[in-house]
Structure 1
Amino acid sequence: MPQIYNPTYIFWARVISALISSFYIFLNFFRNTKRIPNEAIKNIVVCQYHRIGDVILIAPVLGSLKTKFPQSKITLLCCTGALDFAEELQLADEVIAVDAPWTNWNWSLFQWLKIRSFAKSFRKKNIDLAIDFKGDIRNSWFLWHMKSKMSFGYADTGGSYFYTHCQPIPKVMHQTERSINLISELGCNIEIQSSKESTSNASGHLVLHAGGTDPKRSWPSKKWVELADSLSRDYKVTIIKTPETDPIIQRIKDRNIPVELFESDLPAFQNWLKNQKMLVGIDSMPGHLAAYLGVPVVSIFGSQDPNWTRPLGKWVEVVKPEVSCVHDRNHWRLCSKCMDSIDVKKVIHGIEKLISRVRMGDK
């Protein structure tokens, strides 16, 4: 079963949950927790503000909610980085940016009081239904302060009393499937469109997205340079310019490898990407975006389980080490040594395999 949270965090979160439970359970005595009929649901708030990629993963869920509750206004709370993108794709009737202190490792008491005040501001909106998919007690605490008539979510780390309708924690599930499982309790029926037609542009570029905020999730720079050199002999190649890719780009320039650069904001990147041949990247947001658009994706994974966060779709190829992690590492889930163990030939094989599948229509 994929490990969602750091086991140490789960332990301490559940300890805190137990310590504060009496206080919040007492306050809940004064709340009406009865389920309201679907036709009475007019205002829905969906919280998914951890990372940009998380918003892409619930895109089909947001569509299903709108189909089920066409008369309702759906408000999406997302991180600042996802705001323009979510508005561009019209994922909800209203999109609001929120930067919760726990998503940025900010332990300032002022910031926590500020985010609580922000949650309380939703009370005047008369929210009928609030949803959070993370199962993080901090998210649940935030949602509780909205005082919505109904609230749905998971309690992986404790705090089931923060919801009016806390749901059983599902077993092995991809993040998107986990979200679908939650809204199925509301009568939403949805299937992941794994058979979505490829939008691969045969004359487009092979796009390399080497950027990532966590170095333990990244593939070594020298291997990206070697990959770009090899692919540029047979394909048009573009590398996405981000702060993390500057050293890679400099090495490519030093070796005069014929590779183009692309730099833009997220909405422009999305519009450009959908006309390209394929994206090659690590376990990060661009892979999810490409899969959502129908662009073929080769996604490089290390020690983390791809069954939890891989891009979803028919045109996806995951490249990972042959064996499970045996390294002495300082992270509960990620391992830079596992990423380093993946050689360039293995990635090229994944690319060629996926190109062949797309060319043959996966016959």
Structure 2
Amino acid sequence: MVSKLNLKLKVFKSQGFRIALLIVLTTAFVISTAGLVYSYSVPTATREVYTYVKVSQKFSVDYVAYVKESLIYDNRTVITSREPIYFKLLKGLNVTYTYVLTSETPIKNVRGSYTVTLALNTTSWSKTFTIAGGDLSEVLNKTNYLYINFTELFDYISKVDKEVGGSSKTYDIIYYFSFKPTITAVVNNSKTLTYQLSLTPKVKVSYEVGKSVIDFTVQDTEKEFKDTYELINPTYVRVFGLTLDLSVFRLASMTSSFICSGLIAFIAITSTISSSREKPLVDKLINKYKDIIIASTSDEIGTTQASRKVVLTDFKDMVKVATIRKKPIIKVSNEAGSNVRFILVDDDVIYEYIPSEESFKIQK
């Protein structure tokens, strides 16, 4: 077990293995980081809005005006809505209006009610009348008529002004329409849904004393109703044949990026420490066996009296001889400190060891 562990540590410490591992980890880090950047560039989910029901309500108005014979109107007694209405010549307005309800979804049933309210507003007083109302079917998708008798209305306004002691400068004749349909729509070919809608347009006829022309305006004539629902679709990413939710892919990319960066930093730090601790083999030998090693720069040591030379391939064998024979080991080198070899002189035998990484292993 210990030998296997030592073998694994030796493999890990080898420079070639570390370089290969760094290449693999760097590639994985780049891929993980690219995946992480991509995961933040797209939404985690897309939202799609679908429409159950889409209903449009539209109120349309037109009119013709009944006027007195005059030069301005070429003695005509009926004019269209495209012509100006002069107050002194106006008798009445024949208003036509339509209330139309349309739907992109099939409507099974429409019911409801409507009302028409008249409001007289002056600078001195105001009064409201309900002049029409009933079932919505009476006016829905039909042409309807409303006659405004201005001769009678302004007679009524003059009487009220006298009663209240006022003298109005502006007059607003406003017709408030209120349509309240309740519809039952068929959605998805089978499901029925019921909705209560409303539309409140108004027709306004205004006159200001001192001006000759009457203003005719229409407001709030259209409204659209939508009933929608929203579906949230998660974003998926396909990686190496696997389909992952974007959130899972983002977490996996982030985790992988952190792990790879940590391992790269660890290998770089341990490699730096190992390199700083790495010593030449000669220094290792001297440090380990400094008690029995002496140094010399002479190449002639032991060569004169030795008749036999033994070349050793394992420094431990030289240590054994030195221990048994009680002889010192001599480190021989030139003056520059290179060409190092170790010798041991035992009478007429000289033992020689030339250090190399392959032939020596220090026991810790």
Q: Could you say which TM-score interval applies, normalised by the shorter chain?
A: under 0.3
TM (norm. structure 1) is: 0.18
Higher relative contact order (CA 8 A, sep 6+): 2
TM-score by length of 2: 0.18
| Structure that is richer in helix per residue | 1
More strand by share: 2
Structure exhibiting the larger radius of gyration computed from Cα positions: 2
